[in-house]
Amino acid sequence: MMRRRKPRVATKASPSEKGADSVFCGEFIANVIIQGNGERSSPAFSAQRRSGRPSVRAETRAPHLGAYFSAHARARIAAMPTPLPGSIPGFLYGTAWKEERTPVLVELALRAGFRGIDTANQRRHYFEEGVGQGLAAAYRAGIVTREDLFLQTKFTYRPGQDHRLPYDPAARLSAQVAQSMASSLEHLGTNHVDSYVLHGPSSGYDWTDADAEVWEAMTKERDGGRTRLLGVSNVALRHLEQMAAAHSEIPAFVQNRCYARLGWDRNVRLFCRQRKIVYQGFSLLTANVEVLRHPVVSGVAACESATPAQIIFAFARAVGMLPLTGTSNPEHMKQDLASSALSLSSEAVETIESLAG
């Protein structure tokens, strides 16, 4: 299990100190970039890093940093999606792989402040009924009401399930979708969910006739008032392009595991941005341990009095993602939510985005 360090306690700084911090953080990022191009860190920089005070050299290099990123960084920041609609929270709590701890952890997440819950009717990896038990406990305690929440669940094909199926495997796929939804609503103690997601297409290569049948069945669930929005998960750009060509309706959400080594799923994110689809990123920490420990991320975290995990979540938002976290640690739940207060510079965002992809 990855250990997260505690965020530093921020102290009130004078205007001159704030300016110095800004210059120092810019110098830190610039220095790492230069090392990546084959130059060594200077003794002067190492000394100022230890002291926490920028040197005159830092002040002279800060303008160079802005020029380094100028057109590319600003263009990418300007192309970000519009903010999420008010009914969609800025963070989702993921409930996979929690088994008997699911009810307690869902209630803890709601107490910490999460208002978006992600689950699936896939007993192999999720305990959806346990999510409903956690919701019910939170309702009884007066923590939240159903109207306060964004609930998202998924339909999973037979190969992704174990023997505990939420539908008749001999039924048509359209009937399986309806049966899975009915089971989800019973598990979650509600008459509708806010988002219903196809938990991965039937093929790893193409959008198939089976996927088309399932998608049409999902739209009927939406039209019947059992979900507000629809989405797809674990998809490649090819799936999305074929889906868009085959159907008049595209998803409101795409949810993917997001690897830095693959450019943070850049091509899929671009597809979503162009079509105003909300991109949900999961495994942002566990899939990117090398980035979480990278000197740039550690340095930006120190500059922001934050944890590296908080920097990754802030970065995810900055490039247009709706992040998920599945932490079981109550303190980390609070830290993850607090990351929404961070606003990273365009230089930091661009640097993190280019670290491993």
pLDDT tens digits along 31-85: 655 454 443 333 333 334 434 433 322 332 333 333 323 333 433 433 344 456 6
* Res. 28: pLDDT tops 70: no
Q: How many angstroms separate the CA atoms of 27 and 14, rounded?
A: 20
If pLDDT is split at 50, 70 and 90, which confidence band does 108 have?
very high
Q: How many angstroms separate the CA atoms of 313 and 336, rounded?
A: 7
Joined tokens for residue 219: 């739209």
More confident residue, 175 or 27: 175
Q: How many angstroms separate the CA atoms of 68 and 73, rounded?
A: 9
How large is the average pLDDT for residues 240-252?
Answer: 97
In the chain, which segments carry CATH 3.20.20.100?
92-347
If pLDDT is split at 50, 70 and 90, which confidence band does 101 have?
very high
CATH number among 3.40.50.300, 2.60.120.1130, 1.20.272.10, 3.20.20.100, domain 92-347: 3.20.20.100
The stretches of 195-329 forming alpha helices (DSSP H) are 209-223, 237-246, 266-274, 289-292, 295-303, 308-318
Q: Cα dist. 294→1, 173, 235 in Å?
A: 18, 45, 28
Joined tokens for residue 39: 């130059």
Q: How many angstroms separate the CA atoms of 35 and 327, rounded?
A: 34
Label residue 43 exposed, middle or buried (CB < 10 Å: 0-12, 13-18, 19+). exposed
Tell me how far apart the terminal alpha carbons of the chain are, to the nearest angstrom.
Answer: 25
pLDDT in tens, 112-148: 999 999 999 999 999 999 999 999 999 999 999 999 9
Per-residue model confidence (pLDDT) at position 355: 87
Placement of tokens 């192999």 in the chain? 124
* 113-145 residues labelled b (16+ CB within 10 A) or e (exposed): bbbbbbbbbbbebbbbbbbbbbbebbbeeeebe
Joined tokens for residue 185: 């609503």
* Res. 352: pLDDT tops 60: yes
Per-residue model confidence (pLDDT) at position 82: 42
Per-chain mean pLDDT for the chain = 84
Which of these, 314, 323, 341, 355, lies nearest to 258 by C-alpha position? 323
Per-residue model confidence (pLDDT) at position 21: 52
Upper half-sphere CA count for residue 134 (Cβ side, 13 Å): 28
Vertex 116: Cα angle to 340 and 328 (nearest 5): 80
If pLDDT is split at 50, 70 and 90, which confidence band does 282 have?
very high
Q: How many angstroms separate the CA atoms of 312 and 284, rounded?
A: 7
**DSSP 3-state of 324:** strand
How large is the average pLDDT for residues 230-254?
Answer: 97
Per-residue model confidence (pLDDT) at position 47: 37
